């Protein structure tokens, strides 16, 4: 349930909804770059971890990195949205 809730927050915060497979791939790569992990590690944390052989040895560490990266990216996205809204109000 924890991962499912996190996935919903990530989808909403990072704007992945409606972008299709290419958008999802780009977002996973963006999270991976921010976290300093591989896209496969991001998929392991956000999806079914038992499908990845390395989950037993690296899941906990990678989970912390991926979650921190997702929070950072979500905050950056929120700041961009706030600035855009301020500009829209100022231009009226």
Which helix (H) or strand (E) segment is 53 a member of?
none
Helix or strand or coil: residue 17? coil
Task: Name the pTM for this structure.
Answer: 0.67
DSSP secondary-structure letter at 19? Answer: S
Which residue matches tokens 């996973």? 28
Radius of gyration (Cα) for the chain, nearest Å? 15
DSSP count for the chain of H helices, then E strands:
4, 0
- 6 in Cβ contact with 49 (< 8 Å): no
Q: What pLDDT, on a 0 to 100 scale, did the predictor assign at position 9?
A: 58
d(CA 68, CA 92): 37
Q: In tens digits, what is the pLDDT along the chain, a chain of 92 residues?
A: 455 555 555 655 555 444 556 688 999 999 999 999 999 999 989 888 777 888 888 888 999 999 999 999 999 999 999 998 888 888 87
């Amino acid at each position: 349930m924890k991962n499912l809730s996190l996935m919903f927050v990530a989808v909403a915060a990072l704007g992945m909804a409606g972008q299709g497979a290419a958008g999802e791939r780009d977002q996973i790569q963006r999270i991976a770059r921010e976290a300093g992990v591989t896209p496969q590690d991001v998929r392991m944390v956000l999806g079914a971890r038992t499908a990845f052989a390395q989950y037993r040895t690296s899941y906990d560490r990678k989970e912390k990195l991926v979650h921190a990266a997702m929070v950072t990216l979500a905050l950056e996205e929120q700041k961009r949205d706030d600035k855009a809204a301020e500009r829209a109000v100022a231009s009226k």
